[in-house]
Each structure stands twice: as C-alpha cells, then as structure tokens.
Structure 1
C-alpha cells in the first residue's frame, strides 16, 4: 500500500473518531460555517421518494452537478474514483459498454442474455443492457450510487447496487447554455442546451452534445486511431403541468457512438507480423477492422398525480432499444488468429406504477413493475490457425413482473422501522445456435459466404421461469438532530438464464441454463453532520453472503475440427464479502473543503465448483480463485479552495484516488492483474459574478499512470498465438472548457 492511501485511511479514521465523539454535543443549532454540501441538505430518491440523505438507511454516494463539474467528470466511469468499493468502467474492447461492480458484486460479461449485477437507471427507467451505457455527463442534476443489494425497491439485477442518472428538470424561465472544450489528443467537445417556457404550464427543452478526440494510440497495421472518441448525443423533453395536482414529462434521448473499436495491447509476444509487445500500450496491430457503431435511444413518459396532501400516484412508461455492430481482435495481429466480429440488438418496454404516501408517522411507496425485453445477436470466432470459424447466434426473451412495497414507520420520535418486500417472476426463453464452418472468414450468421456448417455444436430453444421474494428490514435511530445510525438486512437476486456461447457437445447441461444468484446483506451505518455542520459524513460496515454465483469462463477445448473454445456459465458456489466504507465532506475553513472516501473489502470464495473437461465432473477449487474487480482498498481525497478572482468565484480542486491490487478474472494472472495505483487530478474553475460565464481547466492522471481496466486471456502458442491482451485506462490529459449561459 503506498503512502497516499495510508494518509487517506489515517485521516478517515481520525475523522470517524472525532465525529463519534461529536455525537455527545448539541448539534441542533444552525451552523455559522459553510452550509453547502451538507448531508442533511442533500435530497436523494434512493427509496423512490424525495428524502434527505441523512435519513436514508442505505449506503448512498450522491454527486451533484456542481461537484461533477468541479472535478471535471466527463462520463459515469468517473464514479469509480469518488465512490468507495466501486468499479465503473468501459468494458474490455469497448468504448461505451458499461461494466460495474459494487462491493465485489457485478458482471463483466456484456454478451446478450447475461444480466448485469449493478442496475442502471435513467430517471427511474431501468436500462437492461450495458451496450451504450457509459453515459456522458451532461444536462444532469445528480448521480446516485446505491451500494448493496437493492432487491426490495429496484428488483432483479441490482444484487450489487444501483446507479441512478438523474437529469435536470426544465427551467421555468427561458435559458440556454453553450459549452466548448478543447484538450489533449485534439479533444473537441461541444454542448448546447436550452429550456423554453411555451406557456404557464408547458415547457420544452433539450440538449445536444458532440464528443470528439483523436486516439491515445494507433493501429499500426491500418493507420486508424486507437482509443479515439466520436460520439453524438441528444436529449429532448417536454414538461406539462395542467394544474396543481398533476405533472407530465415526455423525454427522448439518442446516442450514436462511431468511435473506432478499442483494440487491446499484447502483454506477451507471439510469433509473426505484429505479434510483438508495442512500447505504447494504446497501439495495436489488429487486423479485424476498424468499423464500430453503437446506437442507443429511448423514450419515456412520466406522470405524477397529487391525489391529496398525503398521496401521490406515479406512472413511468418507457421504451428503449440499441444496435451494436463491432469487432474485437483477441490476438491483436494482422492475422485472423482469434478475431471476433459481432452484432447485438435489444429492445425493452417497461411500465411502472407507484403510489407514494406521506403521513405524520408513516411514509412509503407501493408499486408494480413490468418488463418485456428481447436481446439478440451473433458473433464469429475466426480461428485462422485452424482454417475455420465458429458462428454463434441467438436471442433471449424476458418477461418480468413484480410487486413491491417499502414502508417507513416512526416507532418513536427518534426510532424508525423500515420494511420492504418485493415479489418478482421472470419468464425467459433462450435460443442458442453454435456451429463450425470451414474457411477462416465470416460465417453466414455475420453476412459471410453462404455455406453449410460442417459441425453443429449447439441448437436449442428452451424456457425457464424464476421466482424470487426479496425482503428488506432497517432500523434507524436519530442520536441527535444531525446524527442517524441504522442497522439493516436486505436481499437481492440476479436472474438466471442461458449461456449464449454454450457448447452442448462439450457441456450438454448448457441447454438447461443456469440458476439465479442471490445475496444476503447485513449492514450497520452512521451518517450525519457534526462540528456545527462543518463535517458531513456517511459510514457503513457490511457483511454479505453471496450464493449460487454465476461465473463465465472460456477455455481451449477439443481438436482443430472440434470446439476449439468451450464456454461455461456456472453457478459455481458461494463467497463471503465483508468491508467498511467512510466518506464525506469537511469544511476546514470557510474557503477550504475536503472531500474523502475510503473503502475496505475482504472477499473470498467459500466454494467454487469448476467443470473438468477431462473427467466430466465438477471440482471445488475455491483455494485457487479470487473475486474479480474486488480491490481490498479504494480511496479518494480532494481539496477544494474557493475564493475570489477578477470579481468572480474561483474553485481549485486537486485530488488523488487510490485503487489497490485487483484481479481481472476469478483465476489470478500475474500478467493481466493490475497492481495498486493512484490517479492525481487537478481542476481550476472560474465563474463570473453573474454566473453567465464559466472557464475551467482540467488535468487528469497527471502522473501518467499506466493501469489495466480489462483483459483477455487466451495463452497457448499453437492454438491462439499467446493472445494475452490488456486494455488500459486513459493517459495524462489536459483540457480547457468555456461555458456561456444566456
């Protein structure tokens, strides 16, 4: 552990001790110091209703638009630096596919049909697929990260937690904003947004954003940019309030990502042209092509009806769809040793009804939720060394229905009991086809030359139903007007399904699919403010029992005319995850504020059943594996100085984030696994007195740290030309931003 995280942890421990001692003092008086960013001023919707963050018995990191702007956050992967025990990254080989883990629970495999372990919500609309989910940050009010299973209120596939992307409501006054950014690697970003009141009860508005950047590296085989960015995004909405008792919002968003495929870096030298280890980790010799397209869009209609002072009825109707056409070069050489062209398509319709109630001593929400979705696709595994291609295609149709409730009751003026319950029924139909075709070119599934397969490996359609009941219990106590403690028990589950890569010849049971996984979570926490509200903090201790874990692995198998690669999605067993988190804000001086976050995670497998291709039996190898994306320590520390310059407000924010050693996969690999590293950032933001003009300068990864965020592991000289591939986070960048409001 380096000296930065030691300092952060010591500071966190000291602040925790001081805040505990402060509980004995009278914190009911209003503060004379700084008031901004206090935990009892922050409003979140973690329990589907507006509440002060202090009162929510859930571990929540809430980052508002001002904080995100001051730290120069460009997309939601920035959450990883400021959220304890969280992994939020672009998937290996992708620019805009999201991979999220919270407290060691998540899902790395973004193939259609596989469910995420951390749910993503855009204005209460669940985003079922990870493609196109690396959302750029624009026109938002805040982002909330809910840590721990959220099964009772958010349902399936929030087994690790949930990320809520909350967009801004339209202004009641006419306004417009234009922002431009120029930076390293010829970065040129442009944003324009506007809100126009058409009448007293109707407003329309929208935002348009363009993000462009040259690559951090180059495809030395084709000359194309590598790790570039070419994204267009737009959001339009209309808000209608016909009377004091109702409100409607119609919103549409669309994102088009034409960035080149994100090819990887060979960590081990192979043989042949382009098979060496390039000095620049962003360079590649990939030969599969440089065309990539990800298009996502969605429309939603939200209606709120204020029935009386105590009851609000809410309806959320939404439709989303996505199309992806991409390529991944696993070997990263001009030869088609292990090339993967792929297409994905998905669409989903969701309908949710909520009834929120607010009484003197009882508050809560009851609701019903329905999802109808289909995810489909096809991909080829082109094996040039063997002269054939494995073509895989299929779909998963999902219909899900759930009923839920969450009720908070005041047992006394200081003691509160929260009870939540959700019933979910999933019905899934999976269709999987996998076959081998002669010729190391695209199969007919991907538009290749029409030809019959010489060997069909998998061809089935099957249906499964999964039912779950997820309870949650929380007891909270107000130690003072400013300090709240809580203890909770909650559960969550990630739906079962079918392995789209499954080889029924090697693993016949693949046609039966795999079971859901579940988590039982125990948590105690303390949050609030102290020292006359100069310290705002949130802390938690947690213990999770993780059962029936779904783990995806691919291994070499068969002969040159056989499978060549076998895929497994198994319910491997169970693990135990415990840890601690401490985050908050300290107003050191009226002009100096510290933001901090520290996470500790202790995760290990209790059981890991692995299928042995040789014996055809499962073996418990728990002593050989680890949980992926589960660093023991994560930390963040930032200082913000605010003062006056040229009549305007100046904010200077240096920060450092720390991430301990972590493994890319369940099987440790010293070549691919990432050692501990720290990222140093600096931002300077000046705002004119009338708030109409803002200028910002942002430096990211100023020490130019090289760190892996993903990888592929296909060793073996004869079969895969030692294709051990790493994908890296951004290098050092500097950008300048100019924003004008009208």
Structure 2
C-alpha cells in the first residue's frame, strides 16, 4: 500500500510540476505583475541569508514567534537561527539531521530513530541509548505543539514555512524540556486565496522525493490546506549476509489543516498529520579494534579467530557489513490538534489542544558482527501524549506580556525481547570454563522486558517586556512546574526449553553463566517534584539597527527514573533501588549579545557569548556487558558549556547573497568522579583495597571501578564549527521564460569530537567538512529547475562510533553519506 501511494504521489507530482511550470510561463508572459503577494513574501522570508542570523532581504524583516508573538528576529534579545522553507528545500535539509549542517551549534546523532539525540551547544539529552524516563532538553515544537519524543526529529519536514532554532534555556515560555534550547517549526497555513506547489527530485542511489501542497477556500469563512511528502533512497551500506542495501530511506508523510474564521476576532485551526518510516535500517560497519583490559584470549581478535570469523571488511568506507540479525526500523508518528485564537480586548487568547502518538517497531543487531551472538534485539514501544496550553498575549507601547498554563500527560508502553545465539557461549564465557565450548549453554537464552511510563506535568508561566524607554527594555519571566513520573520495569529470563530462570535457589555453573547474561528484575520507580524557573533579560537599542542584550536564566530539567532497569548489588540478587531515580538538573545560564544591521540593512552581523553551568547533569552510563541492562542514568556532579557564536550575512543586491556562521563551544564535565570507564580501562579485574589500576589497554590488567573524567569534553561537541554559503544569479530568458540562472554553494566544517560518554582514544571522530553545490533556472512565478550535488568532494566521515558490548575492544560506526547528486523541478501555482 505504501509503495502504491508513493508511486501515485510521484507521478502526480511530476505531472503537477510540469503543468504548473507551463501554466506559470503563460501567466508570466500574459501578466508578469500577477505574482501574488503571498509568494513575494515567501521569497523574502526564504532568502538563504536567513540562515543563522535572522537576516533579511533589504527592507523586509524575518518574522519569528520565538516569544510567542510575531516580531522581527533582530528585535528578539536571544540567540536565534532562522532557516526559511525554500532554503531547507534547496539545500536538501529535509530533516533535523540535515539541518545541523546549516546551524553550527545544533548537534544531531542517531543510530536509529529511537536512539536519537538532538543537542544545542553540547547540551540536551545524554549521549547513548535512549531512556524514556527523562526529558530531552531540546524542545521540538511544530505549530505550537510540543513533540515529547526526539524520534519525531527523524522524519521529513512537511510543508515547512520556516524553522527557528532558539539557543540557550527557554524555560519560561517553552518549559522544563528546553534547558539547552528549542526548535520551533512553523508550517504553511491554509489560505483564502487558491495556491499550490509541487516538487520532484531524483538522484543517485535511486533517490526519489516528491512533495506537494494545495491550499484554498472552501467557503467565505473556511479554508483548507493539504500537504504530502515522500522520500525513498537505496541504502549506502551493503549487507553481504542478507544481500541487501541497508541505511535506506523510506518516508511518507501527510498533513491536513482546516482554518475557520467565523468572525474577524476568532480563528480556529484543526490540524492532523501522519508520517511513517519503513526503511531497511539501522546497521553499522566494522571500524577498528582497541586493546582493553580483558584477558587477551577474550578480546575481539582472539574470540573472532576462535570462532573462525573475519569481518567482511576492515575498511569502514568500503561500506560493507555482515550483520546477521534482520534489521527493522518501522516508525509511525502522528496526531491532531486544535488551535483557537480569540482577540479579547487589547490582547489575544490562544488555546492549543493536541494529541500525538508514536509507534516504534525495531529489530537490531546489537553485537555489531556477523556472528550469532545476539540473535534478537528488539524493544517495540507505543506512546500517546496529550497536551493543553492556554495563553494570553498583550502588546502596547510600554508593556508586552504573555501569561499561560500548560498541561501534559504521556504514557509509553514497551515490550522488549533480547535473545542470544549459538556463538554467545564462546564469546561471553571464559575459556577456562568448559561451558564456553558448549554452544547450547547460551543458545536460545531469552529475556522478555515489559515496561510502562506515566508522565504527568503542569505549569504556570509568564513573561513581561517593559519598555522603560523606546531604547531600553527589561524582560523578566517566571515558570512554576510540577512533574510526576510513575514507571514499571520487569525482566523475565527463560532458557531455550522455555524454563524460567529465577534468582536464588540452587546455583549450577550453567545457571551462573546464564544469569551473567540476563538477570531477572522488577522495579517500580517513581518521581515527583515542584520546580521554579525564572529569567531576566535587559536589552538596549544603541541605534535603530543595533541591539545589545544580556540574559540570566535559572532553569531546570525535570528529574527522572531509570526506565530500562538498574544495576544489581554485588550479590547479583538485589536491584540498587537508590539509583532508580535521577535528580533534576539545576541550570544557571549567562548570555550577552549584539545584533546589528548596516549598509542600509544589506549586512547583518550578530554576536553572542554564553556560559551554562549545570549541577546534577543527567548522564548516560553504558554497561559493558550484554547482561543486566543496556544503560542507565546517573547524575554527574557538574557540567559547563561556554563559548562564542557569530552570524554574518550580506546581500548587496538582488544578484548576490552570502552568509557565514561560526561557533566556538567549550563543553566539559566540570565534575564527574564516578563515570563509566572508557573501553581501554575496562574489562579487567576490578581494583579493590587500594590496588593500583594498570595502564590503559593492559590485557588481563586491573581496571578501576569507575573513572574520574572531570575536565574532559562532553560527547558529540566540536570545539569549532562553521557553516557558510553564497548564491549568485543573473537574469536571462530560457525556453521563452523570463527568469534567472543561479549558482549556489553551502558548506560546513567541524573539528573533532568524542563519540562516547567517557572520552576514549578509540572513539574520537576526526573533524570533517562537507560541500554542496546547486545550479539552476527559476522564474519569478515560482518555477524552478536545478541540479545539485551534496558532499561534492566525497568526504569520508563518521556520524557516530559505538563501543561493542562485552569489553572486547570492538568499535563499530555509522559512516556519513557519500557524494550524492540529482535534479529537482518544482513550481508554485
């Protein structure tokens, strides 16, 4: 059914694009001045110089809603990146992962849709396996509706007008989930003038993408808009075991909206959307091995030799893998919302009621090899969330304010299955134990995990802007928040014959070996707390186009629960209940900046400096074994992120524009004395009684119980990152159409970064640069045809490196996309 819908959409969109192009050409010849004001406004909003600066075409402002009201981005006293819908399309930035190439301080990492991290300035969500028991730290909002799971960031943008990336804590207006920032996505809204657009792209790797939207009146008071998007692409990694290409793309999205305006003071928008992914995903490739402190005969090379195994390739950029577990990443996200706006007296009352769902059906190869060690690893889950927000906006010459209330309820249910195969015994049991030579000892050993989470939150908030003089504005904000989380986690373990393995009772060598892999557990963690956030910003207009601002914010991220289980005590019988919950993060943030425009607003230059201090930072702790749990949360003592960001854009004429955005980010653990050790210090005998740990990578050595990584860099953060681009055009006539030929370039570069929560010599990713080009012909009426090439110089780089389980020294990775190229045709009508 999905394939049929996709083929139909592609064919229909090709026809619409071609027809619209012909129609546009005739319309242009007949009446060149008939271009709608809406299209002109869109062109102005979407000019590429908006990237990272909020800059605009000469004489027109970029309008943002960062403070829950419409205003020029240059008037907003905070660091904000604005990317228009046209620039998103032209650069191929069709999801958050691609968007990070345009916004230097946005970081995105994803081994699959569930295990996805979106951070800003190095902060947001712990790096590693996702734990549903905590908040994400970077709030994602689509048309004022909060998306509580970061998995939504893996979907294609659908009919987007613009995206605002708000940097720094946004707790007053956006809530407890935005200690690092927020991504505010605005879609195109229904119109009372008929309009439409269609776009088709094709490229190498069998890339096909089609987008279409149509909008218009149904009556004098009712308008509708319908948008659809489809993306498919062959994978970039070949699996020699399944004879399939993996890491493919297979996305389909649909969004519909109804706008009702019964009077001049009331408007009601009903919106619904549904998106699905069914890609052959998500896998990895062999990258390297590093020596750990495990016994030498239990490290990767010795174990692989004993089992007669050799990776299909030791060059990760051969893009070959041999994963033997079927891969699956079925992902569905959708929901419905009602937004009511009512002009009441001097202000506007807004109500947003929303329901969203997320269904996740995965299958992973968690041993990262072609060996039947872990034969099954899947944790499907289903989420429903309900939100209600009510706010009142007021604006006058001297005072602007927003007051509101927000309510949230979420339930997530997960059913997990982890099963081991015939190679598990040799891989996981010491050769000194005769069971290591018995493939049946662990073959068929299975754990069934059941869990649920109930998450309830309520808040009252307000923000005031007091214009003391036309130049000086003071802006205090407050938020009172209540959170309650109730969780349940149960793991039951069975042998191949279906017999349940329980703790206690008689202990045999076989049972001991089995319990070392999977340990039964049942916990019901709970957490509740009140928190108070506040911020204060002062801004001063030195000149009409020069704004200075300074901000202090005291924010927090809600405490959480370890929803995936907790470690066991030394008796391997008792769960450590005291780590079942994690404390709230306490955030102190300081920022100062300047926003300027000059040369008759042809040039925009914005600069910000910031420092964020976090106590009780919620860190992800990865377990080195297959067994008790995959990872859990713990509070690091303190974390700090500080740096400088600069955004520059210039548009001297309609024929040329350029931008450069850069950031220096110094994000470190200030205090984390009991962190998990990196692989080179793991796997040996745990040091006790004053023993001195051996040097890193000493086979059979003594390992520290934990490591002090204070002063080391946070994962995923490059100290230096830049994005830059330019476009030049010249008027011409082509095929009887008046228009312009253009050439565009966008690039990005970042320095090295760590790909492990505890920095390891084996998991540093080298810095890299990406360069994208496009060239084409477009008309004023909206017809556009162009060719593009992305990663033009075919840079070899990694998006993420992962430490293989078992402390064997295996490092797997996800290579970034190779060079891709293609053609796009689109038209507005």
Regarding TM over 0.5, the answer is: yes
The answer for the alignment partner of 1:24 in structure 2 is none
| Pairing partner for 1:330 from 341, 366, 371 | 366
The answer for the alignment partner of 2:209 in structure 1 is 189
Structure 1 or 2: larger strand share? 1
Separation (CA, whole Å) in 1 of partners of 2:149 and 2:568: 29
2:119 is paired with a residue whose SS is strand
- Residue correspondences, number: 690
The answer for the alignment partner of 2:344 in structure 1 is 307
8 Å CA contact 1:596–1:637 kept in 2: the answer is yes
The answer for the alignment partner of 2:655 in structure 1 is 591
8 Å CA contact 1:577–1:604 kept in 2: the answer is yes
Whether 1:697 aligns to 2:787 is: yes
8 Å CA contact 1:98–1:132 kept in 2: the answer is no
Deviation of 1:382 (Å): 3.2
1:133 is paired with a residue whose SS is helix
Separation (CA, whole Å) in 2 of partners of 1:144 and 1:215: 30
Deviation of 1:334 (Å): 3.2
The answer for the alignment partner of 1:481 in structure 2 is 544
Whether 1:686 aligns to 2:706 is: no
The answer for the alignment partner of 1:517 in structure 2 is 585
Larger Rg: 2
| Pairing partner for 1:573 from 637, 640, 654 | 637
Separation (CA, whole Å) in 2 of partners of 1:290 and 1:737: 31
Deviation of 1:274 (Å): 5.6
Separation (CA, whole Å) in 1 of partners of 2:780 and 2:650: 26
Distance 1:290 1:162, change over 3 A: same
Separation (CA, whole Å) in 2 of partners of 1:443 and 1:42: 63
1:556 is paired with a residue whose SS is coil
Distance 1:413 1:111, change over 3 A: same
Deviation of 1:464 (Å): 1.4
The answer for the alignment partner of 2:42 in structure 1 is none
List per-residue Cα deviations over 1:53-102 (Å, max 9, x = no partner): 1111111001111222333322222221121322034x11x158642111
8 Å CA contact 1:697–1:735 kept in 2: the answer is yes
Deviation of 1:114 (Å): 3.3
Deviates more, 1:389-398 or 1:630-639: 389-398
Separation (CA, whole Å) in 2 of partners of 1:520 and 1:120: 22
List per-residue Cα deviations over 1:108-142 (Å, max 9, x = no partner): 34343332121111111110112242231331110
Separation (CA, whole Å) in 2 of partners of 1:389 and 1:199: 60
Unaligned runs of 5+ in 2: 1-54, 290-299, 426-441, 502-513, 570-574, 677-685, 690-703
8 Å CA contact 1:504–1:510 kept in 2: the answer is no
| Pairing partner for 1:216 from 236, 244, 248 | 236
Deviates more, 1:536-545 or 1:639-648: 639-648
1:628 is paired with a residue whose SS is coil
Deviates more, 1:272-281 or 1:132-141: 272-281
Deviates more, 1:637-646 or 1:354-363: 637-646
2:321 is paired with a residue whose SS is coil
The answer for the alignment partner of 1:449 in structure 2 is none
Deviation of 1:428 (Å): 0.6
Deviation of 1:39 (Å): 9.8
2:151 is paired with a residue whose SS is coil
| Pairing partner for 1:601 from 665, 685, 688 | 665
8 Å CA contact 2:207–2:234 kept in 1: the answer is yes
Unaligned runs of 5+ in 1: 1-34, 445-452
Separation (CA, whole Å) in 2 of partners of 1:317 and 1:180: 34
List per-residue Cα deviations over 1:443-490 (Å, max 9, x = no partner): 99xxxxxxxx97753202132102211101000000111110100001
Whether 1:724 aligns to 2:811 is: yes
List per-residue Cα deviations over 1:340-391 (Å, max 9, x = no partner): 2220211100000010001120002000000000122133343431413343
The answer for the alignment partner of 1:656 in structure 2 is 747
2:87 is paired with a residue whose SS is helix
State the TM-score, normalized to the length of structure 1: 0.88
Structure 1 or 2: larger helix share? 2
Deviation of 1:615 (Å): 6.1
Deviates more, 1:609-618 or 1:648-657: 609-618
1:108-257 residue pairs with structure 2 within 5 A?
A: 108=127, 109-257=129-277
The answer for the alignment partner of 2:804 in structure 1 is 714
Separation (CA, whole Å) in 2 of partners of 1:152 and 1:658: 33
Separation (CA, whole Å) in 2 of partners of 1:682 and 1:352: 42
2:379 is paired with a residue whose SS is strand
The answer for the alignment partner of 1:532 in structure 2 is 600
Whether 1:463 aligns to 2:526 is: yes
2:279 is paired with a residue whose SS is coil
Aligned Cα root-mean-square deviation (Å): 2.6
The answer for the alignment partner of 1:734 in structure 2 is 821
